[in-house]
Structures are given as C-alpha cells and as structure tokens.
C-alpha cells in the first residue's frame, strides 16, 4: 500500500494536535510511528507528547532542540537554519531506513516558509520516501509546491483567539 502525504496548515490552532491524534490512531493499529518536532526547543514537553510517552511507548519521538529567535532573541537565524538542516538530515536518514509506517514532521512548514530549510530538501524527501511511509507535515504557511504534492490538505483557519482579543498567553494543557 502506498503511503500518502498529509498537510495540516493555516493560522488556526490544532495542527500539531491533529497530527498527534493521527499518530495515536496509527499506533493503536500497531503501526510504527515517528513523531519529529522542529522549532519547539526540545526541552519542555507538551501535553500531547507527555501523553504519547505514557500511553504509546512504541511511538518514537524526536524533539529537536531548536529555539526560534521569536522566543529567544539571542538565537541567530543563520545558526538556527544550519541546525534545522542538520536535524532534518538526521531525520531523513531515519525515514530512509524504512522502519516506520507513519512519520509526522511537526512545524516543518514553518521551517520551509522561514527559509530555515530549503524547499527542495523537503520535496526530495517527499519524492524519495519509502513507498509505504505515510508522511504528515504541519505548520503555518505550507508552500504551494508542498500542497501540490500532498494527498490530504487541511487548512485550519483562526476566526478568533484569546491571545488577540484579551492578551491571554499560551496555557498548559490547552495550547501546549
């Protein structure tokens, strides 16, 4: 069976949550899952990843330790891009080993849209992945060429968010 390509994009909340839900569904059916997170710091674990560790020990999680300059102004964009590209290569090699049925590339669209990862690197992965591997790409600003390659594309649209209406910051258990 040929693995398909999914894209969860848009400015709305829920892209990572949807991808983790799909990973949980796949793991529940005995599928081998790799969940890789870019740009989330690698340290503090989100609620969904904490749950994956507790309930689905067979799901492999790679949390790359990149931090975006938006959250840490001391981070240099050039250094971040070099790190994202090194981490992506590590991930690409793991995927090409062929041990997974589903791979989630969390926040990879942001890496591409912010020129931290060359578009061509992502397209080469999508074109060259082992045929049965299902791949999910999340993050805002999915590139039109990624969308073109995808079999499923879901755009989450923000209609209203408390960060804009009342200044409410990200809350544990709700946004992370």
Give a yes or no: residue 132 inside a domain.
yes
Give a yes or no: residue 173 inside a domain.
no
What CATH number has the domain bearing residue 125? Answer: 3.40.50.300
Give a yes or no: residue 93 inside a domain.
yes
Beta bridge mates, 6:
136, 152
Give a yes or no: residue 42 inside a domain.
yes
Give a yes or no: residue 175 inside a domain.
no
**Closest listed residue to residue 108, CA positions, set 69, 137, 150, 141:** 137
Give a yes or no: residue 174 inside a domain.
no
The mean of the pLDDT values for the chain is 88
Domain residues for the domain of 40 are 5-165
The confidence score (pLDDT) of residue 150 equals: 98
Question: Cα 39 to chain center, whole Å?
Answer: 9
pLDDT surpassing 90 at residue 4? yes
What does the pLDDT look like over 106-139, one tens digit per residue?
A: 999 999 999 999 999 999 999 999 999 999 999 9
Q: How many structural domains is the chain composed of?
A: 1
């Amino acid at each position: 069976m040929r693995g398909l390509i999914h894209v969860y994009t848009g400015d709305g909340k829920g892209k990572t949550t949807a991808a983790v839900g799909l990973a949980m569904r796949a793991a529940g059916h005995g599928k081998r899952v790799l969940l890789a997170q870019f740009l989330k710091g690698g340290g503090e674990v989100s609620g969904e990843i904490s749950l994956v560790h507790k309930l689905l020990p067979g799901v492999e999680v790679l949390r790359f330790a990149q931090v975006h300059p938006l959250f840490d102004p001391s981070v240099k964009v050039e250094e971040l891009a070099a790190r994202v590209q090194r981490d992506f290569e590590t991930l690409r090699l793991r995927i090409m080993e062929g041990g997974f049925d589903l791979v989630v590339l969390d926040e990879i669209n942001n890496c591409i849209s912010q020129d931290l990862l060359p578009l061509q690197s992502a397209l080469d992965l999508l074109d060259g992945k082992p045929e049965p591997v299902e791949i999910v790409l999340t993050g805002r600003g999915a590139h039109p060429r990624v969308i073109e390659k995808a079999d499923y594309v879901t755009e989450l649209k923000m209609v209203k968010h408390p960060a804009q209406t009342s200044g409410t910051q990200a809350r544990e258990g709700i946004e992370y």
